[in-house]
Structure 1
Amino acid sequence: MIYRFLADITVAVHFGYVTFVVLGAVATLIGAMRGWHWVRNRWFRGIHLAMILVVVLEAWVGVTCPLTTLEQDFRSAAGEQTYQGDFIANWMHEAMFFELDPWVFTVGYTLFGALVVANLVFVPPRWRKGK
């Protein structure tokens, strides 16, 4: 029971990670057009860049995401062979995982990472107060 709960929590954290990376890029673009100052916050932008770079590097070197591995380990310890989390955890899991060749994900992550880097150029973060 506890391992299943931990697996579901891991899926929720993983989904939160993905959501932050995707919505962070979208918010930066929209925020730049709408004049939202918070999208230029250097901490937000630095954390956002670091998070997508981790994903891109994992894809390039062929490393399975540690959150995916952790979830699988918890599910195995719970005696589950297939995904059997509760409704919300199942929905989050299905929203993140697709049956495609690994190279498709590598290209997708790389292009998305390039978008985040382009955001740094076209919507530069503030480095000092008042700028």
Structure 2
Amino acid sequence: MTPALAALLADALLVLHVGIVAFVVFGALAIVVGRTRWRWVRGFGWRLTHVLLMVFIALQAWLGALCPLTVWEQALRRRAGQTSYGESFIEHWLSRLIFFDAPWWSFVAAYSAFATLVIAAWFLVPPQRNRA
């Protein structure tokens, strides 16, 4: 793999990562706001994906593990000869949206609290299976 391709793939992974963060955060907001307005927020497959993803994120934090997307992106950046979170536009701005400089315990607490909210939403705004 060429360094240019590795850099491009690393940027693509960062965009995917930001998309997943947006899905989790805005998805939770959509469940609360749209519980009586938007039928799609009760879709079983969508809700199952949402809750499982958030539980996975919180579990990673409890185990002290980095997200696999972060590990993969950093490996691609090294292969491209870049330092992690170097100077490309996508990398520079999108990484600042989802990465913060804070103690690890604060991430564990935040992810755990958010996972608790997502699980609570599962019961307070229960998903519905499509009836054929």
Q: Which band: TM-score by shorter chain?
A: over 0.9
Aligned length: 129
Q: Select the residue among 7, 10, 16 that pairs with 2:10.
A: 7
SS at match of 2:35: helix
Kindly indicate whether residue 93 of structure 2 is the aligned counterpart of residue 98 of structure 1: no
SS at match of 1:63: coil
Return the letter of the residue paired with 1:18. V
TM-score w.r.t. length of structure 2: 0.92
| 1:83–1:18 Cα change, 3 Å | same
- Tell me which moved more, 112-121 or 77-86: 77-86
Show the 5 A alignment for 1:47-126: 47-126=49-128
Question: Is the Cα–Cα contact under 8 Å of residues 28 and 39 in structure 1 kept in the other structure?
Answer: yes
Runs of 4+ in 1 over 3 A off after TM superposition: none
| 1:101–1:28 Cα change, 3 Å | same
Unaligned runs of 5+ in 2: none
Pairwise CA distance, 1:77: 0.5
CA RMSD of aligned residues (A): 1.4
Pairwise CA distance, 1:118: 0.9
SS at match of 1:124: coil
TM-score w.r.t. length of structure 1: 0.92
Distance 1:58 1:4 in 2: 26
